[in-house]
Amino acid sequence: NAGVMQNPRHLVRRRGQEARLRCSPMKGHSHVYWYRQLPEEGLKFMVYLQKENIIDESGMPKERFSAEFPKEGPSILRIQQVVRGDSAAYFCASSHPNTGELFFGEGSRLTVL
Amino acid sequence: DQQVKQNSPSLSVQEGRISILNCDYTNSMFDYFLWYKKYPAEGPTFLISISSIKDKNEDGRFTVFLNKSAKHLSLHIVPSQPGDSAVYFCAASAFSGGYNKLIFGAGTRLAVHP
């Protein structure tokens, strides 16, 4: 009964590099959400995707951030030219299309040096 | 623009006593409210929820109360146990368009001590 799987759990990047975070939803789930948690803050919605479609990206920064959920394979959150302010925990959640209940992964912690 | 607010960043309670965590919201379109529990280095896990058509939902030691007129909800844990020590997030959503976009509060860190 595999839950939401995220990798890597920890990622260290230098300023200007790219970060790629991956999320495999629970079996049977076709909806993926990405949230970001900055230190001492709550989780902030970033983007909601279904297979091959971005449904709501209202929480995504306008530049450098992108997300995809291809037909095959995990969802990927991509951050280009990272800056120190991108250091955060990035959580992925998935839901069944009928119930809507979100199940979260353990998060990917990005540190930008 | 904080639509969901948890004004107490931390709470300390003695084991066996009641823990009360509070949450306020501003968006009257929210129709579903949830509490998540989070341990360090782990993802949030669902604890309990309540629909806006109810004012109380109980699950074992956990009870959530909703006061729609005040736009306020609270989580009661009775009796509190050391294993309850974690960060608790209040979340709200308006389940429309077929998906569940949760808006989270900043969290309250609960410490249950002997």
Identify the burial level of A33 via C-beta atoms within 10 angstroms of its C-beta, where 0-12 means exposed, 13-18 middle and 19 or more buried.
Answer: buried
Q: With 70 as the cut, is the pLDDT of residue B20 above it?
A: yes
Q: Say which of B41, B89, B99 has its CB closest to residue A100.
A: B99
3-state secondary structure of B43: coil
- Residue appearing with tokens 């300023």: A15
Q: What is the per-residue pLDDT across B5-18, written as a single tens digit (0 to 9) for each?
A: 999 999 999 999 99
* Residue pLDDT, tens place only, B23-62: 999 999 898 999 999 998 899 999 999 999 999 999 999 9
Tell me how far apart the terminal alpha carbons of chain B are, to the nearest angstrom.
38
Closest by CA position to A45, among listed A67, A26, A29, A64: A67
A57-103: per-residue pLDDT in tens?
Answer: 999 999 999 999 999 999 999 999 999 999 999 999 998 777 667 89
Contact list in A for residue B87 (CB cut-off 8 A) is: none
**Interfacial residues of B (vs A; Cβ cutoff 8 Å):** 4, 6, 36, 41-46, 89, 95, 97-107
Residue type (1 letter), A65: F
